[in-house]
Amino acid sequence: MTELPAQAVAVTRAFGHFVAVDQVDLEVRQGEAVGLLGANGAGKTTLIRLLLGLLRPTGGEIRLFGEPPSRSTRRRIGYVPQGLGLYDDLTPAENLAFSAAVFGEGPEAAVLPEPLRQYGTTVVGSLPLGIQRTAAFAQALAHRPDLLVLDEPTSGVDPLARARLWETVAGAAAAGAGVLVTTHYMDEAGECDRLVIMAAGRVVARGTVPEIVGDAQVSVVESGAWAEAFGALEAAGLPAALVGRTLRVPGAAPAAVRRALGDLSATVTSAPATLEERFFQLTLSADTTQVQP
């Protein structure tokens, strides 16, 4: 049997009365990238801290490479936190050397990758954000981890630079590592082999993008008077997303939207939902179920 880099079995974590992670099952297999999506407060960060061994579950079980989290499993994990986890007053080379030493690696693991060499003598705090991010990736990958955990790795990065970072991630997966990545960026979710969507501490959907979106639909309003249509929908409690001069309504069927528009001149049709819209629907219904006793 091949070893599972990361596995959560019915994991629960409570802080006092607040259940941040509720009966979550998750697997990251060798060579695959799993995307973890969720709104703020959905429990993603708590789940990652549980997987890294920084928190202990209140219930259920975490297994890394088939064992409970420990220092020896940590050695096999590469982690890029949201804040990148670099020392601002060290150069990229010094950061890398320090990290390699901590992981018990020799100097060969502290060799700066090509794009970073020209910045070798500048302290990280003075480098552009994109270069800092490349340095953080290099540091996380230097000890050739078997599990790579990335927390919002490309927030604020332009598309070409993002594509380059994903080449690095895909390279690690192709070499056999399991990758777990959280993101708020739905386009990025398409880079993952599988997605897990959390809301209110629970997993509300899992699978590939097409599996998660399924046949979900949204209503699309086309009107010369989009501003008035937006106001009418707002008054009816139907939040609409502006896309150019059309409005997309994820939460209501065309007939309901048509009613809300009253006698306003508009065409209302139905269209396949995007991943973001489906995510929105899933999150809203999870919140509603929590409110009900």
Partner 1 sequence: MTAPGAGHGAGDWWGTEDVSVRYGSTLALNHVWFRAEPGLVSAVVGGDGAGRTTLLRCLAGALAPTSGLVRRPTPLATGYLSAGSGTYPDLSVAENLAFRATAYRIPPETARQRSAELLARAGLDKVTGRLAGQLSGGMRQKLGVIAAMLHRPDLLVLDEPTTGVDPVSRAGLWLLITRAAADGAAVVLATSYLDEAERAHHVLVLDVGSELASGTADQIVAAMRGTLTVTGTRPAGEAGRRAWRREGCWRVWDPGPVPGAGGGRDGSAVRPDLQDAVTVAALARELARTGAERESR
231 binds partner 1 (CB under 8 A): yes
Residue whose CB is less far from partner 1, 155 or 217: 155
Angle between helices 129-141 and 92-102 (to 10 degrees): 20
Residue with tokens 């064992």: 67
From the list 145, 171, 168, the residue with the least C-alpha distance to 157 is 168
State the minimum distance, in angstroms, from the CB of residue 155 to partner 1: 5
What is the x/- site pattern for partner 1, positions 126-145, by CB under 8 A? --xxx---------------
By CB under 8 A, what part of segment 34-73 binds partner 1? 37-42
Instruction: Establish if 117 lies at the interface with partner 1 (CB under 8 A).
Output: no
Q: Give the DSSP letter of residue 57.
A: -
Q: Which ranges constitute the DSSP H helices of the chain? A: 44-51, 71-74, 92-102, 129-141, 159-174, 186-189, 209-213, 226-235, 254-260, 275-291
Rounded least distance, CB 123 to partner 1, Å: 17
- Of the candidates 269, 217, 216, 262, which has an alpha carbon nearest to the alpha carbon of residue 247? 269
Q: Looking at residue 54, what DSSP letter applies?
A: S
> Under rule CB under 8 A, which residues in 147-206 are in contact with partner 1?
152, 155-161, 163-164, 166-167, 170, 184-187, 190-191, 193
Q: What is the dihedral of CA 67, 69, 70, 71, to 10 degrees?
A: 110
DSSP string covering 68-128? ---HHHHTTEEEE-TTTT--TTS-HHHHHHHHHHHTT--GGGGPPPGGGGGGTTS-GGGS-
Nearer to partner 1, 104 or 159 (CB): 159
Asked if 211 touches partner 1 (CB under 8 A), the answer is no
Q: Which is nearer to partner 1, 95 or 283 (CB)?
A: 283
Min CB(132)–partner 1 separation in Å: 9
- Rounded to a whole number of angstroms, the minimum distance from the CB of residue 114 to partner 1 is 13
Residue window 257-276: x/- pattern of binding to partner 1, with contact defined by CB under 8 A:
-------------------x
Nearer Cβ to partner 1, position 21 or 77? 21
As a whole number of angstroms, the distance between CA 37 and CA 122 comes to 35
Rounded to a whole number of angstroms, the minimum distance from the CB of residue 52 to partner 1 is: 21
Residue at token pair 């302290």? 123
Question: What is the binding site for partner 1 (CB under 8 A)?
Answer: 37-42, 128-130, 152, 155-161, 163-164, 166-167, 170, 184-187, 190-191, 193, 226-228, 230-231, 234, 239-245, 276, 279-280, 283
